[in-house]
Structure 1
């Protein structure tokens, strides 16, 4: 048992989920007990000698799950028990011997120095002995995590982690197997919980390590989960975050900080303005935010600027925009139809009118969007260049 509990300063415990790793489990437990006596082991339906190994440790908290239900479920059971014991943090590590309990103090030091966060052990995936499928899987996971959250991490798959229990236990989860470790960090990032990497060592011993990862079945689950998370990120999380940022700043602060004084060059900012205006006036009602953020990401433009200007179609202006689109579309197509009967003051009257003249409206909206985007982009480019020149003169 530990003489000095290094986890006391942050009120943390250690959780070890295990399934048929009796060969290495005792070594892992002994290593953890060197640093803390607050240990929870979740036996996820093991059928080997795990029960015999655990029977030698009378002081640890043991959770036995009768039938194997997956690592994610085991972690969630461990979190519930840790919260019941009133811990603020839980450090998790695998029972297959790949993690070094000697790295536990690194997680404690990071929390003490930098404050609350969800910490993920950063393995050196380029060292000798790392399986190629593990290295590829980590790069794959890192890419999608960055796409879904905007946060770049060098390791998102390591099971050696520190979780802030109160914050994590407030999140609703749906997965119960390996993919849980992806779901939890993505949803934590969406809750604005800081997520950081902590450098750790790792050991892949082919003579000892037993992996329960089933490539086809588990990779399929992970792919389905990432597909869902990407859709949620594009349809809800990104628009929510940009709207909150824009609302928090207000138009004046946004104009001064993001449009005039951001680090982006004038051309990039003016193209972002043009993109926002173009999509905002295009006939993609209900999908404008998703489209503008996706295109801004594709073309590496300023997403906040593009999002802000895509809101050109605000409710008070919609009747005038629709009326202008119908007029332009009628003119471009050379139709004899007039829009004199169009009542732009009442939505219930111009909605059926759009349905009757959909072609004119669509053509007119694209023409208006392209023209307005060109004008807005050109004007913003001139304004931003002028402002940039003034800033240069002030510095000289």
Structure 2
């Protein structure tokens, strides 16, 4: 197989977004053309000699944007063009000369060996000569990517990537600048698209490299995006994953695998049960899931166990939980309890109005019920797990 047929085996093209990189663009284009003629260049409103330089490459797909709209927007334009041309994959490479086109076959080989995925070139940011701000930014990005997806990568900021076009085309994106490269890999991982690193070479030449990353403005954009992605992770993605895991396993398999046979210590599992019950019975309706996952993460407890037991407040049990909480709250507050509360409830007829009239009793009673129940469930789980552990011996 000749070098210019390499990408044909996986039906891939190369997308090169560029903005005022005329000094290095020719070298990048000539290097990529050694491997394919299916190249899409998106000139993102360059004001240097980029347009005149590209005029010499009539065999390539050249898209000129009238004004600079950002790298993310240029990539999205490139993806659409590649999709219209029927490509299954697109390799993106920066035009500043830091990437080596000679690494393109590595992406193809990885797909052929291990199947479809979103691949990110690992530049080994710990090597000598890498700018400190680039290394720090990469570590920062890696941390939040792992938090948002559970996937540990060594490099999440490299622009040398391979995208499975058919699998990302249905994802809605909002960002248009550098932060797009964060949004796309996080949302791809949420869609269960494998995201992996492969090793690539990198060249940092201060004399010719032109970076358009604006530290304050772009770092702020990335931070805002990560804040939003973290909220979505805690409010939707993690609960969805735990709910799917729990429902797919069923209670019996969950009990056997996660509660009895997980690698966590007995104390950790018992504390996870207690945390789930405590949050599940607390008067924070609508925020129980995000609260239990956040606390389980901070306290390093078993998130699946805590999440499962936080669902103790099932809809059929809610009237009983509210009533018991009111009874306990009335007792602790020195207010009349017993059957009088039940009669008042029956007369008013709705939970909301009744709770508003007895809010103090309800809040006090809920926290008391949650605390006592958490202790009981936690101790019960600890004793049962100890008994089970001794039976193994």
- TM-score calculated relative to the size of structure 1: 0.95
Gap change, CA 1:367 and 1:204, over 3 Å in 2: same
Q: Which runs of 5+ in 2 are unaligned?
A: none
Deviation at 1:349, TM superposition (A): 2.9
Alpha-carbon separation, structure 1, partners of 2:236 and 2:13: 35
Residue matched to 2:182: 182
1:1-396 superposed matches below 5 A? 3-342=3-342, 348-391=349-392, 393=393
Moved more, 29-38 or 288-297: 29-38
Alpha-carbon separation, structure 2, partners of 1:346 and 1:3: 82
Alpha-carbon separation, structure 2, partners of 1:75 and 1:346: 63
Alpha-carbon separation, structure 2, partners of 1:347 and 1:388: 51
2:340 partner SS: coil
Gap change, CA 1:191 and 1:50, over 3 Å in 2: same
Gap change, CA 1:321 and 1:64, over 3 Å in 2: same
Q: Which runs of 5+ in 1 are unaligned?
A: none
Indicate if the aligned counterparts of 1:282 and 1:365 stay in contact, CA closer than 8 A.
yes
Deviation at 1:58, TM superposition (A): 2.2
Indicate if the aligned counterparts of 2:269 and 2:302 stay in contact, CA closer than 8 A.
yes
The CA deviation string for residues 322-348 of structure 1, in whole angstroms up to 9 with x for no partner, is 111111111122223555342678994
Gap change, CA 1:334 and 1:18, over 3 Å in 2: same
Alpha-carbon separation, structure 2, partners of 1:203 and 1:234: 38
Gap change, CA 1:268 and 1:21, over 3 Å in 2: same
Moved more, 144-153 or 203-212: 144-153
Alpha-carbon separation, structure 1, partners of 2:92 and 2:223: 24
Alpha-carbon separation, structure 2, partners of 1:321 and 1:197: 49
Indicate if the aligned counterparts of 1:319 and 1:347 stay in contact, CA closer than 8 A.
no
Gap change, CA 1:334 and 1:173, over 3 Å in 2: same
2:196 partner SS: strand
Alpha-carbon separation, structure 2, partners of 1:111 and 1:294: 36
1:342 partner SS: helix
Gap change, CA 1:365 and 1:29, over 3 Å in 2: same
Alpha-carbon separation, structure 1, partners of 2:81 and 2:346: 60
The RMSD of aligned alpha carbons is 1.6
Indicate if the aligned counterparts of 1:21 and 1:96 stay in contact, CA closer than 8 A.
yes
Alpha-carbon separation, structure 2, partners of 1:26 and 1:50: 9
Deviation at 1:151, TM superposition (A): 1.5
Moved more, 165-174 or 257-266: 257-266
2:368 partner SS: helix
